[in-house]
Structure 1
Amino acid sequence: MAPHSLIAGLFGTLLLAIPTQASILGQRVSDASEAGVPLFKSETFQLTEKSLRSLKHSQKELFGFQSDNASANADGSAKCRLLPGDKAWPSESTWSELDRALGGALIKTVPLAASCYPSWPEYDSAKCTTVGDDWEVSYMHAADPASIMWPLFEGRSCLPTSMNTSSTCTIGGYSSYAVNVSSVAQIQLAVNFARNSNIRLVVKNTGHDFNGKSTGAGALGVWTHNLKEIEYIENYNGASYKGAAVKMGAGIQAFEIYEKAEELGFTAIGGEGKTVGVAGGYVLGGGHSPMSSMYGLAADQVLALEVVLADGTFTTVTEETDPDLFWAIRGGGGGTFGVVTSVISRVYPKVGVTVSTFTFTTGTGVSADTFWEGVRAYFSYFARFADAGTYAYFWILNLGDDSYEFMMNPFFAVNHTVAEFTALIEPWVNDLEALGITVTPNSTYYDSFLPGWEAGFPLEEIGLVTMMTGSRLFPRENFDAKLNETVEAVRTTVGLGHSLLAFNMKTELQDGFPDNSANPAFRESLMHAITSTTWDSNSTTAEINSTIYDLTYNVLDKWRATCPESGAYMSESDILEPNFQQAFYGTNYARLFKLKQRYDPDGVFYAPTGVGSEYWNVESLDGLPDQNGRLCRV
């Protein structure tokens, strides 16, 4: 906000300089951590009682910790969070004061597509063309402090003109401001300011969540994307694990940790998608991985976390220091218990992988019934394939006129040579041949994870504003005693024109790993399946809501009926999932809710479908399930 030349001196000696940064309110502390691994440099600059001590009362009301703040807003009693234009909304001078305390790291949101609109000072037709051309490229949205991967859930308030039927651009459901975080002190300042000022707070790394958890109208965003430190730990020494580990800053993405693993000769557990933020909401929500059938969820790998809590304090969370929070934060959802600045996770030896792609379709000699018999045969081998440690990413598409296509894209056979992979799938291939279906796998062996992953998984695109998704975790029983019922439910879905994108994997908690709060449905699952629905770009709100309702209560109900005790993966799900507490958290919800009241009783951290979110509601301006509206207590 303010230029760096105007930042110096507001708080005198309490603004301590960090090399290569402007002055930030806070002070340098020891790098010692109860995790047994030194804090990153970004974590050693913190907001402390000492740095707050000489502030004026009004300044301490803005930036002070909850335990020290006697302001009316600090008790969390306000019914609704403020929005710009409200009488109590912070003045421009107050936002400038925050910016100075942050060392110039406060960013006033300008939507990515503002360059397309003459009403915005940023109007630039050439830049607008670039933004429009790259709109579905996830890297662009990850590198923006406010943009998210699924703009439907922001409120579609500022789209490239080629996509926007309203020809308007507003801030809408984007956060009003964001803090470009480079130190713990800045996170603490943001959390304290939002809490003390009754401002909605959101946390964004990449904005990858399917339901827009990192955005919200009128919010102050904590943008952790640039916390990119990585440290390999050859001999981690913890209570339940001794061995190789890696410490990752909250901004580390999948491609970055995989490149580091390739460089140093280890294998890390991270997302399938290239731009997924591994140490952010991904790991906190569970996190499935191409390595999951061998080692479980990303959340299972976590050994320690450094976290800023809702009261503004910074703490180390391990199995020994805080067993309850250690259990809850690993799987209980991002943006729920605190802002994670880094995680320490297990890593594994280098491993080879065979990557294979192939397809089959209806056509000459292959009727629709025969096609689905081929799919049924595949489903019958799910346990065999997952138990062998493999991970498969596949599509089933409706081509129209009772025609279908199956796409294996790819079969990711960890720790299998091509010959071993060929032997593994031979029974299924033989079943297909007996049905008159011929497949020709294109299989390549890679001697480490990174090149196989790069060859197998394309760069993910962002979600469309004319599409909504839903998902289900199908347990092992569905591919044994309930096989026919499961195949029929999937066939009905695809037959109605809804594509199937699915993963065959298992995500069991490994022996000797400490328990966590990840959805218990993961532990029995052999398929994470996703489907979607679409509507025309000029559809009315009533038409869109009708289409969404059909997906939630008609299409997905057929899936739920096959496994009513199971659930869904919260990060890739239907935002309107009925009884989300059971679907996303299962039997863990009651304990998670109690811990939410302990660590964040005032709801500083709110995320749609998050723990405790049932006591809040977003008064959406467009009547859709997005974050473009005031956040109020129910």
Structure 2
Amino acid sequence: MAPQSLIAGFLGALLLAGLGQATSAVGQRVSDSSVAGAPLFESETFQVTNKSLAALKPNQTALFGFQSSSTTHNQPRKRCRLLPGDKSWPSDSTWSQFDDILGGALIKTVPLAASCYPSWPEYDSGKCKDISTNWTVSYEHDADPASIMWPLFEGRTCLPTAINTTSTCSIGGYSSYAVNVSTVAQVQLAVNFARNANLRLVVKNTGHDFNGKSTGAGGLGVWTHNLKDLEFIEKYNSSGYQGPVVKMGAGVQAFEVYEKAEKLGYTVVGGEGKTVGVAGGYVLGGGHSPMSSVYGLAADQVLALEVVLANGQFVTVTEETNPDLFWAIRGGGGGTYGVVTSIISRVHPKVGVTVSTFNFTTSANVSVETFWSGVRAYFKRFPAHADAGTYAYFWIIGTGPNSFQFLMNPFFAVNHTLTEFNTLLKPWFNDLKALGIPFTPNTTYYESFHPAWAAGFPLETIGSVTMMTGSRLFPRENWEDDSKFNATLRAIRSTVSMGHPLLAFNMKAELPDGYPEDSSNPAFRKTLMHAITSATWASNATNAQINSTMNTLTNNVLGKWRATCPEAGAYLSESDIMEPNFQQAFYGTNYGRLYKLKQRYDPTGLFYAPTGVGSENWQVKSEDGLPDQNGRLCRV
């Protein structure tokens, strides 16, 4: 089987190995035409088709063939997905056969930190040192077929020895195998094999999701990270849009598409995080962006998607070809309706940006009350700032007893010159000066988005196993009603005063006029602040202590936030995995329709993701009793 470092480039005929010899091809080259209005990528033209499957033997078709309506209705519904060691778990020879038909793209998963443990063949003290040094760097995890950026949710099963209190390393909650995808055929074969063999299927692009949606014990992973095709089309024409677009493979990351857009003179609506996979779970969950106050969510930009469905079929999804799925998949969450291999999204003209960073703190001359008066003066201006098209990324943290710090890092003023930025911020800055709060803005104007973004947003720090997060989308009405505004400020102040940091975004994400509706959380359309907080525990905390801390964050801390806006919600990709009534919080009034479409397009429940649509029909029996993916997945 392929080592983890192999990037499969196999684009020829895939051969099925049976009894030691190749017996028939199970993939074929098809036309690059697509009803999406742009040619398929070369990787998408190699597909498994009914014609190519016809040469298989019956027992082979049973493993790798498509799902039919008859098998859907007649097949017994297995209560639990298999785990290694189960009687029905595929044999080594079956996995070897699967690797053969994939063209060597199957990876037997090895935990990222296995090099730190003498019990693993991969033990290497030098590599262990490198892994330990770079453990919190997102590039380290997105380039691995199974690792996720929040290993808390794979069960903390194999960590660098410096942070592993148990000194053990097992595969745990990581997928057992992963397919390093380079063709649509490989995606189809993985989907078919997982469905037919009753395996847990997980889809990983970069592993950014805060709740570990791309991992799962015993899983077969579809690793789309290396689908890096990227093409800008100047004159795209569809029934609802004419203009420039970008077509990007599922593995394209923010820094990659932004760099190319800069060279071509475009602006793309993508994540603020450098390593976010733009066409993966990010866009499928809605995706907020530094451009959202101007152009809406990333999901709003999508005009077409190429998708492998749960039945194994490869389809083009547009507003014309499949309006229901087009609505659902744009915002309804990743790992839910299918595996996306590429998307086509609108792009926008080059735009100038002013970026500013600054901070203020309590001190001998700035009392606690004065500090919070400065914060209040800022919050008062959220509507004006968002309506001006800006996006602010800021922190409020406690630095000691009755000691606080405000960090603007950065204020991202899209389509604002320095003069226009200073005019917009002057009322707040005047308030800070009147309060006697010293601050020194570091402000720069950039001619285009890419250099502004690169300068303004730091590389994410990830990899923590001693912290969990939660969030809330605070609606505009909390600014339009004085009592709700005051309640919001009290809730935020209480959170920070209790020792929980606030990371927040002042933004809006309204659906632009003329754009087709999608299933993104309706709470996004009314928000003025996406706020995140977290709770931590000691590295040697017991599972009971961790559970207690998690419950306190969910119920006591975030409970105060929910009380200020009970009808609002939270961003599903940056949320609390224990969010009460996640259906309402993450999907709002869209949930009923999303659930019905889930049953139509995935009747066997092949695609499961924690807090995803339909996930209430399943449960993970985690080994440690925590809400992680280290355990058997079973129907409720």
Q: Which bin holds the TM-score, normalised by the shorter protein?
A: over 0.9
Counterpart residue number, 2:629: 627
Report if the CA contact (8 A) 1:61-1:71 is conserved.
no
Counterpart residue number, 1:38: 39
Q: How does 1:108-257 map to 2 (within 5 A)?
A: 108-257=108-257
Distance 1:351 1:89, change over 3 A: same
- Residue 13 of structure 1 and its aligned partner are, at CA, apart by 7.7
Counterpart residue number, 1:19: none
Matches of 1:70 and 1:328 in 2, distance apart?
25
Q: How does 1:256-405 map to 2 (within 5 A)?
A: 256-405=256-405
Distance 1:606 1:76, change over 3 A: farther
Greater CA deviation, 478-487 or 494-503? 478-487
Does residue 49 of structure 1 match 2:50?
yes
- Residue 479 of structure 1 and its aligned partner are, at CA, apart by 2.2
- Residue 67 of structure 1 and its aligned partner are, at CA, apart by 1.1
Q: Secondary structure at the match of 1:89?
A: coil
Matches of 2:387 and 2:48 in 1, distance apart?
48
Counterpart residue number, 1:554: 556
The one-letter code matched in structure 2 to 1:611 is V
Q: Which digits, 9 at most, give the CA deviation of each residue in 1:532-590, with x for residues without a partner? A: 00000111111000000000000000000000000000000000000000000000000
User: Which of 487, 490, 510 is the equivalent residue of 2:489?
Assistant: 487
- Residue 278 of structure 1 and its aligned partner are, at CA, apart by 0.1
User: Which of 574, 584, 587 is the equivalent residue of 1:585?
Assistant: 587
Distance 1:518 1:565, change over 3 A: same
Matches of 2:46 and 2:23 in 1, distance apart?
13
Q: Secondary structure at the match of 1:244?
A: strand
Matches of 1:181 and 1:69 in 2, distance apart?
29
- Residue 15 of structure 1 and its aligned partner are, at CA, apart by 5.7
Counterpart residue number, 1:21: none
Report if the CA contact (8 A) 2:24-2:55 is conserved.
no
- Residue 56 of structure 1 and its aligned partner are, at CA, apart by 1.1
Counterpart residue number, 2:95: 95
Counterpart residue number, 1:464: 464
- Residue 68 of structure 1 and its aligned partner are, at CA, apart by 8.0
Counterpart residue number, 2:447: 447
Matches of 1:383 and 1:234 in 2, distance apart?
35
Report if the CA contact (8 A) 2:142-2:206 is conserved.
yes
Does residue 510 of structure 1 match 2:517?
no
Report if the CA contact (8 A) 1:507-1:522 is conserved.
yes
Q: Secondary structure at the match of 2:490?
A: helix
Report if the CA contact (8 A) 1:357-1:411 is conserved.
yes
- Residue 8 of structure 1 and its aligned partner are, at CA, apart by 6.5
Q: Secondary structure at the match of 2:80?
A: coil
Runs (5+) with no aligned partner, structure 1: 17-24
Q: Which digits, 9 at most, give the CA deviation of each residue in 1:83-116, with x for residues without a partner? A: 0000000000000010001000000000010000
Q: Secondary structure at the match of 2:289?
A: coil
The one-letter code matched in structure 1 to 2:260 is K
Matches of 1:538 and 1:330 in 2, distance apart?
41
The one-letter code matched in structure 1 to 2:17 is L
Report if the CA contact (8 A) 1:76-1:602 is conserved.
no
Q: 4+ residue runs of structure 1 moved beyond 2 angstroms?
A: 2-5, 7-16, 68-72
- Residue 480 of structure 1 and its aligned partner are, at CA, apart by 2.9
Matches of 1:619 and 1:631 in 2, distance apart?
7
Matches of 1:205 and 1:196 in 2, distance apart?
23
Does residue 10 of structure 1 match 2:12?
no
Report if the CA contact (8 A) 1:61-1:70 is conserved.
no
Report if the CA contact (8 A) 1:76-1:603 is conserved.
no
Report if the CA contact (8 A) 1:175-1:220 is conserved.
yes
Does residue 499 of structure 1 match 2:506?
no
Does residue 576 of structure 1 match 2:583?
no
Distance 1:422 1:311, change over 3 A: same
Report if the CA contact (8 A) 1:205-1:251 is conserved.
yes
Matches of 2:216 and 2:267 in 1, distance apart?
36
Counterpart residue number, 1:22: none
Counterpart residue number, 2:612: 610
Report if the CA contact (8 A) 1:154-1:212 is conserved.
yes
Matches of 1:564 and 1:232 in 2, distance apart?
42
Report if the CA contact (8 A) 2:354-2:443 is conserved.
yes
Matches of 2:187 and 2:76 in 1, distance apart?
19
Matches of 2:561 and 2:373 in 1, distance apart?
19
Report if the CA contact (8 A) 2:284-2:333 is conserved.
yes
Matches of 1:360 and 1:437 in 2, distance apart?
7
Does residue 533 of structure 1 match 2:530?
no
Q: Secondary structure at the match of 1:10?
A: strand
Distance 1:13 1:66, change over 3 A: same
Q: Secondary structure at the match of 2:162?
A: coil
Counterpart residue number, 1:67: 68
RMSD: 1.6
Q: Which digits, 9 at most, give the CA deviation of each residue in 1:446-502, with x for residues without a partner? A: 101111101000110114100000000000111231221111100000000000000
Matches of 2:458 and 2:372 in 1, distance apart?
27
Report if the CA contact (8 A) 2:16-2:101 is conserved.
no
Report if the CA contact (8 A) 1:380-1:480 is conserved.
no
Report if the CA contact (8 A) 1:61-1:69 is conserved.
no
Report if the CA contact (8 A) 2:145-2:223 is conserved.
yes
Distance 1:241 1:235, change over 3 A: same
Matches of 2:241 and 2:476 in 1, distance apart?
29
Matches of 2:430 and 2:122 in 1, distance apart?
60
Matches of 1:463 and 1:396 in 2, distance apart?
22
Counterpart residue number, 2:522: 520
Give the TM-score, by structure 1 length: 0.97
Counterpart residue number, 1:26: 27
Q: How does 1:411-422 map to 2 (within 5 A)?
A: 411-422=411-422
Q: How does 1:71-86 map to 2 (within 5 A)?
A: 75=75, 77-86=77-86
Matches of 1:374 and 1:71 in 2, distance apart?
60
Matches of 1:387 and 1:122 in 2, distance apart?
54
Matches of 1:153 and 1:310 in 2, distance apart?
25
- Residue 438 of structure 1 and its aligned partner are, at CA, apart by 2.3
Counterpart residue number, 2:597: 595
Matches of 2:197 and 2:63 in 1, distance apart?
7
Matches of 1:467 and 1:495 in 2, distance apart?
18
Q: Which digits, 9 at most, give the CA deviation of each residue in 1:285-319, with x for residues without a partner? A: 00000000000000000000000000000000000
Runs (5+) with no aligned partner, structure 2: none
Give the TM-score, by structure 2 length: 0.96
Matches of 2:458 and 2:518 in 1, distance apart?
31
Matches of 1:9 and 1:128 in 2, distance apart?
38
Distance 1:76 1:468, change over 3 A: farther
The one-letter code matched in structure 2 to 1:30 is S
Does residue 543 of structure 1 match 2:545?
yes
The one-letter code matched in structure 1 to 2:597 is L
Report if the CA contact (8 A) 1:153-1:211 is conserved.
yes
Greater CA deviation, 280-289 or 55-64? 55-64
Matches of 2:376 and 2:583 in 1, distance apart?
31
- Residue 365 of structure 1 and its aligned partner are, at CA, apart by 2.2
Q: Which digits, 9 at most, give the CA deviation of each residue in 1:246-298, with x for residues without a partner? A: 10000000000000101111000100000000000000000000000000000
